[in-house]
Amino acid sequence: MTTVRDHTLPREYLMRGPTVVQSRAAPVPLSVQSPVHSIFHEPWWLDIATGGHWNLAKVVRGKEVLGEMPYYTARMGMWRVSHLPPLTRTLGPVIKPFDADGNVAHAQHHRLSIASQLIEQLPTFDSFFQLFDPRVEDALAFALEGFTVSARYTFQIAPDCTIEQAWARLHSKTRNVIRSAERKLTVAPIATPSEFLQFYEANLHERSRTNAYGTSVMRQLVNAFVERKAGHLLGAYGEGGRLIAAIGLVWDEHAMYYLLSSRTLGAHAGSISLLIWTALQHAIEQKLTFDFDGFSSPATFNFLDGFGGTLKQRLGVERQSTLYSVARTLKRRMVPGAASGFAPNL
């Protein structure tokens, strides 16, 4: 199992209201050593995000675990579904690297074989969807098993980029708003998870919105990643030490992820940009990829594009029963503007 490092910093369903299917106890922690194992695969993360209701497909040869794939099972009305749990950005298979002595064909066959065996273990769902990290290369196995493969995107800054290079890559407008924010705001760690959570909920209330991730799940995850030193909370403070913007960051051995953000109405236009720039510098210092964690609208794309990151593809795999597919199509026709079932990122 991958152990996250301590990086101390000075960051929808078609039918709403899923209810968790009562399943067996949480499975044995993932044990495959692989570079695609992310913080979102960590058992403690999945325990909280799913309320302990996740399972694990596993391929074992002798005593050696060759591949694993966690999945969440829930009910949405009459449907049995397996989608991404709250705040869990990516999942997918974790397959042990195969020593094929440079033989690409043998390595590819190995991955296809293990991924296919993992897929065979999945229960029958009315709707299944997972989004893969850009490092996961196993979507083909799902396509061959009848899943639909689609593309989403994220921006990343590679760990070999220097801070000077990262600054030069920023669009001029982004640099300007960061400079402006630096003159008026102070960036500092948020003292406690409760301060961040209260701030987040207050801003939602001010906008007459509810927490899309679930207040309880977010509270538990934020407390857990701070306690485990697998994440951090940064705040931008204005006059009188008043918190006006905040971001939540998590990391693993490979990457730092921009996970959460919130700001007050009327906050400085560059407050979030300043916080992201601060977090990006720390990621570079720690030799971690900085992942902007995708975007859900053209406006978010334009905002994140200003940081000069490299566009990376994240493949999604999806399979639906005929009845579920028909119901989803009817819902879209009957409810103008109804959200597509589960597209967390464009």
Alpha-carbon distance 33 to 2, whole Å?
7
For the stretch 105-142, pLDDT in tens is 888 899 999 999 999 999 999 999 999 999 998 999 99
| Token reading at 210 | 């509810």
Query: Which of 4-8, 172-176, 280-284 comes out lowest in average pLDDT?
Result: 4-8
Q: What are the tens digits of pLDDT across the range 72-96?
A: 999 999 999 999 999 999 999 999 9
Stated pTM of the model: 0.86
Rounding to the nearest 10 degrees, give the CA dihedral for residues 227, 229, 231, 233: 60
Question: Mind listing the pLDDT tens digit for each residue in 237-263?
Answer: 999 999 999 999 999 999 999 999 999
Judge whether 249 and 8 are in contact, CB under 8 Å: no
Residue-wise burial string across 162-196, b where 16 or more C-beta atoms lie within 10 A, e elsewhere: eeeebeebbeeebbebbebbeeebebeebeebeeb
Taking the CB of residue 102, how many other CB atoms lie within 10 A of it?
7
The share of the chain scoring above pLDDT 90, in percent, equals 77
Least confident of 21-30, 195-204, 210-219: 21-30
The per-residue pLDDT for 31 is 61
Tokens representing 159 are 């760990």
1-15, 24-38, 41-55, 282-296, range with the lowest pLDDT: 1-15
* pLDDT confidence band for 330 (50 / 70 / 90): confident
What kind and span of H or E run contains 204? helix 193-206
Contact partners, residue 14, CB within 8 Å, separation at least 6:
76, 127, 327, 328, 331, 338, 339, 340, 341, 342
Euclidean distance between CA atoms 222 and 315, whole angstroms = 27
Helix, coil or strand: residue 184: helix
pLDDT band at 3; cut points 50, 70, 90: very low
pLDDT exceeds 50 at position 342: no
**Beta strands at 186-189 and 231-237: parallel, antiparallel or unpaired:** antiparallel
Chain segment 203-244, per-residue pLDDT in tens: 999 999 999 999 999 999 999 999 999 999 999 999 999 999
Q: Yes or no: say if 312 and 292 are a contact pair by the CB < 8 Å rule.
A: no
Which of 194, 193, 191, 178 lies closest to 275, judged by CA?
A: 178
CB 155 within 8 A of CB 297: no
Identify whether the C-beta of residue 195 lies closer than 8 Å to the C-beta of residue 202.
Answer: no
pLDDT category of residue 174 using cuts at 50, 70 and 90:
very high
CATH topology of domain 156-312: Aminopeptidase (3.40.630)
For the chain, give the mean pLDDT.
88
The per-residue pLDDT for 8 is 41
Q: What is the CA radius of gyration of the chain?
A: 21
Q: How many CB atoms lie within 10 A of CB 252?
A: 23
Q: Give pLDDT tens digits for 286-308.
A: 999 999 999 989 999 999 999 99
- Predicted pLDDT of residue 344: 40
Residue 2 CA, distance from chain mean position: 17
Q: Was domain 19-149+318-334 assigned CATH 3.40.630?
A: yes
Asked if residues 181 and 268 have their Cβ atoms less than 8 Å apart, the reply is: yes
Could you say which DSSP state residue 38 is in? Answer: -
Residue 243 CB neighbour total at 10 angstroms: 21
3-state helix, strand, coil in the chain (%, to 5): 35, 25, 40
What are the CA-CA distances from residue 116 to residues 65, 151, 297, 338 (Å)? 15, 20, 33, 34
pLDDT at position 341, please?
Answer: 40
The pLDDT score that the predictor gives to residue 329 is 85
Would you list the domain boundaries of the chain?
Answer: 19-149+318-334, 156-312
Asked if the domains 19-149+318-334 and 156-312 are classified in one and the same CATH topology, the answer is yes
Percent of the chain past pLDDT 70, that is, above it, reads: 86
pLDDT bucket at 25, cuts 50 / 70 / 90? very low
Residues 248, 233 contacting (CB under 8 angstroms): yes
